[in-house]
Chains A and B, each alone.
Chain A
């Protein structure tokens, strides 16, 4: 196409567009021309693609920002959970201590005889003689004072020195306690059998003994007062002679002790014990 024709075409296009513009003037925007609608229809899909892509991109960016926030929040919450877990453990320990002390206080308040609180400063489970070493803050300690806790009998003082005392546990092989089956009041002698267990001796074969029977102190040995729980029958077998072979499980878990109570009670004097067989009216 020659330059002259191109110029004529330019003039034609310019005039045409001026005419198009002039035609819109009476009421601009009232009725779009075919050309305008066609151009819009051709261009709009591309704009739509960009808008959709922008929407997806925006959503992705928002999700990424949300992810960052959630990760930070998750990290903070994990730390918080760990702190709360540690705090819960501490509080559970405190609750346990409070319950333990509450039981101890209730036991001490309800006892029929005066009690002296003693801290356990040493426990010896390994030697033949199973013993505790106590420290008493107030009061005095005397040999043969019974040591108890709210669950039952622990043992008796075998050595006293100032505020310190050594207690022989009832599970010690050389320990013995006058015992009584609570259900039938049948009496016997509770002996330490080692390895944390007890035996109830001198209960005749005709006596009614059942697994689960509670054994209390009988108060017949001149050391322990009557009615303190000692153990529970876990096995009853016929012995080789006239007596049952009865195994007991101690009521007290010696592994969790931290304090004990010493009973302030005057034991029967040795002089009286020795005088009894010859005592006459």
Chain B
């Protein structure tokens, strides 16, 4: 079930990514929807799921972008694992914490991409600082919105479930 949900999220992210890039040329420079999914997937602290989710999302990103295939897979695998590992050791109670987690994940991903590029590519492209900052901030904001939305949805569903359970209770 979790795998299906993740796959559906990847499909939606792919379609939004393509649609956004068609509408706004700088969309993919400003927002990384796949990273949001990777971090969100790792928020429960499951390192294996976080790692595999990062691998899948990274490879999908590689399929859609023009760089060497696997570079996003590598970065997102590490980010997914790292996020889950961090969540195991941190207690996140405020939205600002979620914001920092997503922003930190975006910064880590960019650092890994730059590092691997410097390590392996013969003439790596210099990062555009402005867009790098925009991507980090947008990841933090969108990640927080996604987290809050999911929390509200979850509480609504739990409330509905509790109400449903009370209705079918039989009193003697």
Contact = CB atoms under 8 A, between A and B. Distances in A.
Nearest to B23: A54
B51 interface: yes
Most chain A C-beta atoms within 10 Å of own C-beta, residue among B11, B68, B69, B73? B69
A46 B11 contact: yes
A39 B51 CA distance: 18
B109 interface: no
A1 B81 CA distance: 14
B22 A54 contact: yes
Given A39-B60, A39-B62, A6 B47 contact: yes
A47 B59 contact: no
B25 interface: no
Interface in A14-40: 14, 17-18, 20-22, 24-25, 28, 32-33, 35-36, 39-40
Contact size range, B: 20 to 34
Given A10-B77, A18-B74, A20-B70, A1 B14 contact: no
A46 B14 contact: yes
28 contacts: A1-B48, A6-B51, A10-B77, A10-B78, A14-B74, A14-B78, A18-B120, A21-B70, A22-B120, A24-B68, A24-B69, A24-B70, A25-B122, A33-B69, A35-B59, A35-B70, A36-B70, A39-B69, A42-B63, A43-B64, A44-B63, A46-B11, A46-B14, A46-B18, A47-B18, A50-B14, A50-B15, A51-B22
A3 to B, nearest CB: 7
Contacts of B81: 6, 10
B17 to A, nearest CB: 8
A140 to B, nearest CB: 91
Instruction: Describe B's contact surface by its main secondary structure.
Output: helix
A66 interface: no
B119 to A, nearest CB: 9
A9 B8 CA distance: 25
Interface string B120-153: 1110000000000000000000000000000000
B74 A17 contact: yes
A42 B63 CA distance: 9
Contacts of A3: 47
B74 A21 contact: yes
A32 B68 CA distance: 10
